[in-house]
Structure 1
Amino acid sequence: MKKGFYSAVFATACLVTLFTSCEKKSDGVPAQKDDKVLYLYNWTYYTPDEVLRNFEAEFGCTVKYDSYASNEEMYNKLRGGAKGYDIVVPSQDYASIMINQGMLRELDQSKMTNRKFINPQVLAKATYDPEMKYCVPYYFGAAGIAVNKERAASSYERNWNIFADKQFAGHATMMDDMREVIGDALAHLGKSVNSLDDSELAEAKNLIAKDWKPNLVKFDAEGFGKSFASGDFWLCQGYAEVVFGEVPEDRWNTVDFFIPEEGGPSYLDSMCILKDSAHYELANEFINYIQRPEVYAKFLDSFKFPCFVNTEAQKYMTTTPMYEASQMTNCELKNDIGEGLDKYQEIWQEIRYTD
């Protein structure tokens, strides 16, 4: 969902079907028919077409781009037997799972000459692969809070407890996402967004159910951007690209978008090479190429994303980001919590469906 709202930007992106066709090299090792083709399995419209074409020109190859809309779709397709992809871009929880299940190949560190541009804060948060053996960060993002300044009073809390503010009653929404909403409450209470402590989770549930939910119109995973733009919602939790993707640019000055200083849940999409990649050398070149500051800046400019992963890219950007990258400093990655997810699901059911 978080990638889908800028689809018009990259309408020329290439899509391909399953890559199962192969031939035998003289040594009997399976190989793709065209060894100058790189197969990229990525989020929909997540890499600018210009970047792909420039890479093709420089390295004398072709990039085939197949897309997915969720980590679950990507993972299930690969576990279901899909072959032929070289690079995949999972979020942090699925990257962790795929490392543990042996689905990824270690990167050629001698090719990663641009790793020096990666923000150390990002690697410190990526506890599942802090040395970047398997994963090179692509984008670090977080949901925040959007306030309609024309509707709101002159003062309001700039933290997650803004959802308890009665001035927004009947005009507020939060995402229909248990890890995001429960994570917000945990962060506001000074706890980890990955907490499995029963007492901490109970405290978070009470905060949401008793203080926040009474002001909400609903929990909304898809339409909050349109409803905010139309003026129905004055306050919403969500991704900046969804909100600003719906509000006309000449009215962006009416939106106060911020990520609270107390932090909150975040995600980190990373470029990884699959275990059975047939184009390992070219895949390493592509991953390193993306992290050239002048190339990475093209990606950021396409979405008006803040510069957090590759700090050197800032000087090459030509657009103004939707919010300051520094707002994400205190955010915490939503990690794979295994069977602990059952606790969140139980709490979420009680929040969502109990008056």
Structure 2
Amino acid sequence: MKKFNIIVLTTILFSSMVLSSCSKGEKKETFNLFNWTYYTPDSVLEKFEKEYNCIVKTDYFDSNEVMYSKLRAGAKGYDLTIPSSDYTSIMIKQGMVQKIDHSKFPNSIYINPDALVKAKDYDPDMTWSVPYCLAANGIAVNKTKVKDYERSYDIFKRKDLAGHMTMMDDMRLTIGSALKYLGYSLNSTDDKELREAADLVKNEWLPNLLKFDAEGFGKSFASGDFWVCDGYAEIVYGEVPEDRQEETIDFFVPDTGSGAYLDSMVILKDAKHYDLAMKFIDFSHRPEIYAEFLDALRFPPYINMEAAKYTTRKPMYGPETLAKVELKMDVGEALQKYDALWQEIRFAAE
């Protein structure tokens, strides 16, 4: 998951020292959620608290690395968190999560089977995790600046657009885009394929890029300085006023494919409120509740397609876009190969 300023959500914070009492004098259970800083609308949390007579206490992270490092360092008390696919895989392998009780998850019927196919390498049957959001890395073109273009990675070869284009400052995604363009897996560990992809980035795309940028490109796109940006749609849409988005932004995933993140809900090994965690997972996937998440962040109804019946806002892109993406997965020790090639690319950019 990634940072963006798509929407400012006001978060209700509860003091850990104060717990409301039930009518019988009993303390309400507290469900401890470790969540992305913008991910769950207040309306959803409030409805969950009311329905299950509990308190939701939320702590936040802004990257998978922060979340994982905190848990590995021994942080206790959290019941549920929402890692991206590569970290979900790692956490499953390391025994950091509990199994999903499908007898307590009737709304599993709304999970798109195609989303589980994408998770085939680490949890195809939702044994350990439940998909929550799939979002694409792709290309955003400022239509007011670029009138004629091919919707492919070949746009980065165009010298006439040099100085107005950026790609992600992310070695896995940028090298991954080149791998997909060449017909390889985003998660390739093959030396020849990686070399070919790195050479494509360094020799054909890099000369036309202004820079690599993972976060700030949205503001520069909105101001008209950047015309073509490789990245997550939400970063661009979060900066362009909504009444200008239609005329300004063309976001697409090339037919050759791109990277994506699949964030999934997992119940942590030391969770003290397993039943509430299962209730939260099931509640989140009620179509009318999931629609509130989609409306807040404007993601397409890919994971829970039934929710489309209840949405009120147009998504940034359609569910069909996500059919072309491949998840970024943990590549183990091969990450060192990516790092070495990335340092070579970055050196050439200086």
- TM-score tier, shorter chain, comes to over 0.9
Which stretches in structure 2 are left out of the alignment for 5+ residues? 19-25
Alignment of 1:296-315 (within 5 A): 296-315=290-309
Residue 140 of structure 1 is aligned with which of 125, 131, 134? Answer: 134
Matched, 1:201 2:200: no
- Normalising to structure 2: TM-score of the pair? 0.94
Q: Give the fraction of aligned pairs with identical amino acids, expressed as a percent.
A: 56
Residue 274 of structure 1 is aligned with which of 265, 268, 278? Answer: 268
Residue 57 of structure 1 is aligned with which of 41, 45, 50? Answer: 50
Which stretches in structure 1 are left out of the alignment for 5+ residues? 22-32
Matched, 1:346 2:345: no
- Normalising to structure 1: TM-score of the pair? 0.92
Residue 240 of structure 1 is aligned with which of 233, 240, 260? Answer: 233
Alignment of 1:17-96 (within 5 A): 36-96=29-89
What is the DSSP-based 3-state SS (H/G/I as helix, E as strand, rest coil) of the residue aligned with 1:84? coil
Contact 2:32 2:77 in 1 (8 A): yes
Alignment of 1:309-328 (within 5 A): 309-328=303-322
RMSD over aligned Cα, in angstroms? Answer: 1.7
Alignment of 1:206-225 (within 5 A): 206-225=199-218
What is the DSSP-based 3-state SS (H/G/I as helix, E as strand, rest coil) of the residue aligned with 1:208? helix
Residue 109 of structure 1 is aligned with which of 99, 102, 105? Answer: 102
Contact 2:82 2:263 in 1 (8 A): yes
In structure 2, how many angstroms separate the alpha carbons of the residues matched to 1:103 and 1:270?
Answer: 14
What is the DSSP-based 3-state SS (H/G/I as helix, E as strand, rest coil) of the residue aligned with 1:158? coil
In structure 2, how many angstroms separate the alpha carbons of the residues matched to 1:15 and 1:185?
Answer: 46
Give the AA of the match of 2:11. Answer: T
Contact 1:160 1:260 in 2 (8 A): yes
1:11 match? 10
Aligned length: 340
1:230 to partner: Cα distance: 0.7
**CA separation of 1:158 and 1:223: change in aligned 2, threshold 3 A:** same
Matched, 1:178 2:180: no
Residue 291 of structure 1 is aligned with which of 279, 285, 293? Answer: 285
1:118 match? 111
1:160 match? 153
Give the AA of the match of 2:46. Answer: R
1:25 match? none
1:240 to partner: Cα distance: 1.1
